[in-house]
Amino acid sequence: GENVEQHPSTLSVQEGDSAVIKCTYSDSASNYFPWYKQELGKRPQLIIDIRSNVGEKKDQRIAVTLNKTAKHFSLHITETQPEDSAVYFCAASMGGGADGLTFGKGTHLIIQP
Amino acid sequence: GAVVSQHPSWVICKSGTSVKIECRSLDFQATTMFWYRQFPKQSLMLMATSNEGSKATYEQGVEKDKFLINHASLTLSTLTVTSAHPEDSSFYICSARDRAGGNIQYFGAGTRLSVL
């Protein structure tokens, strides 16, 4: 089955700096890659996703890049703010998202004031 | 955005009893819902895929007789933990797939199950 590795497990950055979280996946059949943000005690919220026919997608301060050849994708957050502090999960799925998600282990992002 | 409601949010039960958890898509039809399990400070693990009008598909290692899934309508899936034991204590979270919205999965708020 699919295996998703996520790094780092904890990331501390100064407010205003950029944060990058990286994930790799094992199954080349995966073609849908969402990123979820989970604040303590709350449900995961989709922040951005990318499909395998696209190499990069951007939404304001958040961007995701995908390298299908290397089977890795990354989340980039620019101009970080205190409210960006949370746990971020990458995930992979086949069938364009029709299948269940295989999640990475999560990254605890800490924004230092 | 789409809303998924999950109830109860927290349940305590005695060992040997059964617990039912409901997952509802409030403003869209979900032919497919998913059930995940999340251990403290860990990731979400897919347990099963719930398809409206058909049998659920379980991931390897998940006991289908222990975790009964019913998806009787386009907006409701239920997970019943049968004969619960302390090792079943966990955070169970559902998601509903919005097929009309690009297959995005929207998550419920989760259910904290504690088995005494």
Cβ distance B46 to B106 under 8 Å? no
pLDDT of B101 = 79
The string of pLDDT tens digits covering residues A11-57 is 999 999 999 999 999 999 999 999 999 998 889 999 999 998 889 99
pLDDT of B2 = 86
Which residue positions in chain B have pLDDT lower than 50?
A: none
Considering CB atoms only, which of B43, B102, B106 is closest to A103?
B43
Residue A2 CB partners (closer than 8 Å, separation 6+): A25, A26, A27, A30, A92, A94, A102
- Tokens representing B21? 């958890």
Angle at A111 between CA A86 and CA B39, to 5 degrees: 25
pLDDT of A99 > 80? The answer is yes
Could you tell me which of B104, B99, B96 has the C-alpha nearest to residue A49? B104
pLDDT of A1 = 87
pLDDT of A98 = 84
Q: For chains A and B, count residue pairs whose Cβ atoms are closer than 8 Å.
A: 52
Angstrom CA distances, A40 to A92, A108, B13, B108, stand at 23, 10, 24, 14
pLDDT of B52 = 87
The string of pLDDT tens digits covering residues A77-87 is 999 999 999 99
Instruction: Tell me the mean pLDDT in the region A82-109.
Output: 94
pLDDT of B93 = 97
**Mean pLDDT of chain B, nearest integer:** 93
Q: Residue B109 and residue A98: Cβ atoms within 8 Å? A: no
| Contact list, B34 vs chain A (CB under 8 Å) | 100-101
With 0-12 CB in 10 A as exposed, 13-18 as middle and 19+ as buried, what is A52? middle
The H or E element that residue B105 is part of is strand B104-107
pLDDT of A64 = 98
Q: Residue A49 and residue B104: Cβ atoms within 8 Å? A: yes
Q: Amino acid identity of B40?
A: P
Strand B90-98 and strand B111-115: the pairing is antiparallel
User: Could you give the CA distance from residue B48 to residue B33 in angstroms, rounded to a whole number?
Assistant: 9
